[in-house]
Structure 1
Amino acid sequence: MSEKSFLAEKLCSGKPVVTAWSLLSAPLVPELLARAGYEAVTLDLQHGMLDFEAAVETMALIALGGAHRIARIPVGDNALAGRLVDMGAECIIAPMINSKREAEEFARSIKYPPVGERSWSPFRAAMLNGQTSDQYLKNANSQTLSLAMIETQDAIDALDDILSVSELDGIFVGPSDLSLSLSQGSALDPNGAGTAEVCARIAEKARAAGKLAGIFCLSGEKVEEAVQQGYQLMSHGIDTIFLDHAARAALKEVEQLAQAGGGPKAGY
């Protein structure tokens, strides 16, 4: 990522971007994901183990690794959203946005007047962006993205109103919670055909409203499907799952070699 490259510019140009997803409070891990080639890394402060302090350190390492910086806040924590953009987040994802009012309050928390109500203190953000304070102020409202998560039936019912919020840059779909809500808690089916159909309609409405559309993907196939549906930001790859799969694969390799050699399994 060059000094003058911004996530907002890429997404608004229509370029698909895949982001890694980080749950661990281990700053080196997102840096490694960035260095592996991910264009963006998302820090999950809703369901992950990171606190504000860890997120601040981690965003600097993501920038060092050459990737864009995204953060998901806990439900309704607009104050934290403002703090995270001050520390360098280029995009904030807000979960469980179910109404126009909630979308407005969230989006305005990370936009400067007259668009929003963000308070001034972006010195770390300007530094990570390679900008002076004046340059940051001039560009912040267009370069700092607000994405409201659509993951409930209530959000779908209010989608037109949510998309009408001028301060909001776009939406981000959570298929797991969406499938739970659509089935009234009877099934977790993020990859199901019914969920995919609803996700396609959400993307279509977002694009028609001139908004960005992002989605959480659980496989490479789902990333490709999302691009075809009109999504621009796709998450794929979670640090905890990477570690789990890599550890199991390493142990399996040792076990297979031991079995092929006829030797003892050595506890495997």
Structure 2
Amino acid sequence: MSLSSRLRAGETILSAWSTLPEPLTIEAIAHSAFDAVVLDMQHGGHDEASVLHGVGHIMQAGKPAIVRIPVGRFDMASRALDFGAEAVIAPMVNSVEDARRFAAAMKYPPIGERSWGAMRNKASYGDPRSGDYLTQVNQQTLAFAMIETREAFDALDAILGVRGIDGVFVGPSDFSIAWSNGREVDPNSESIVEPITEIASKAAAAGKIAGIYSGSAEFARHYIERGFRFVTVGNDKAYLCMAAEALVKATRG
């Protein structure tokens, strides 16, 4: 089943987060227990070349690939899909206009304005020469608009109402900065639990998917209980450090 089908069926997807553009690192986490892998172009080291090759490694592992594009790089959203990604996360979508521009890049007509030129035609979408293929692509590729500012939170209902936006994704660190008016960076702040939970509730009511970045298993469980179904847990640098620390501690007894 595709990522879209699984999420729309109510399954909770736990995804790895890749910041290191090293092929063997991507391959390793793609073959781990995670359900999917996100390649981060915004704050991670990924560029177009590493996304092109990284998506291939993830697909070969039988997992869906997701790409977080840089701020405003909606052209890269289309390229990520051409490369074989099943979903794209767009940061700092703060208005209906931002959401419309993102959706336009993600979806073929009549929903959006995506240009034809897929490098990897996935068999699950059907015959690429048919109109059914375009319909399947529009249904099976997911556009996640990041909600991480007060402006985006205030426009949430309108953003969720944009045709072609399939879900929202919360960046809790940036959200905490915005919610505290720049006083703190604390993704675990009690003050943001209620508004973040409201984001998940409104997404569900709109028939959309709610996702969130989590830095720990405890944080992930907390927000899964509150309705989030696409949850990324930690990142590749953290996996390496945590495993190294656990190994050294076990060896020293």
Q: TM-score range by the shorter chain?
A: over 0.9
Aligned to 1:18, the other structure's residue is in SS state: strand
TM-score where L is the length of structure 2: 0.94
TM-score by length of 1: 0.89
Larger radius of gyration: 1
How do 1:211-250 residues align onto structure 2 when only pairs under 5 Å count? 211-250=208-247
Aligned counterparts of 2:56 and 2:134: Cα–Cα separation in 1 = 20
Residue identity (%): 43
> Among 38, 48, 54, which residue is 2:50 paired with?
54
1:260 maps to which residue?
A: none
The number of equivalent residue pairs is 251
- Per the alignment, residue 92 of structure 1 pairs with 88
Corresponding position of 1:188: 185
C-alpha displacement at 1:106, in angstroms? 0.4
- Post-superposition shift, 1:209? 1.2
Q: How far did residue 137 of structure 1 move?
A: 2.4
Shift of 1:173: 0.4
Comparing 218-227 with 232-241, greater Cα deviation is found at 218-227
Q: Single out whichever of 243-252 and 87-96 deviates more from structure 2.
A: 243-252
The superposition leaves residues 120-155 of structure 1 with CA deviations (integer Å, 9 ceiling, x where unpaired) of 01131x147585424642410000100000001111
Q: State the one-letter code of the partner of 2:209.
A: L
2:197 pairs with one of 196, 200, 205: 200
Q: Select 1:210's aligned residue among 183, 207, 210.
A: 207
Q: Aligned with 1:123: secondary structure?
A: coil
CA–CA separation in structure 2 for the residues paired with 1:159 and 1:130: 30
Rounded Cα–Cα distance in structure 1 between residues aligned with 2:59 and 2:164: 26
CA shift, 1:253, in A, is 4.7
For 1:30 and 1:92, the matched residues in 2 are separated by: 17
Which position in structure 1 is the counterpart of 2:175?
A: 178
Is 2:12 the partner of 1:23?
no
Distance 1:78 1:52, change over 3 A: same
Q: Superposed, which structure 2 residues align to 1:75-224 within 5 Å?
A: 75-124=71-120, 126-127=121-122, 131-134=126-129, 136-224=133-221
In the TM superposition, what are the counterparts of 1:4-19 in structure 2 within 5 Å?
5-19=1-15
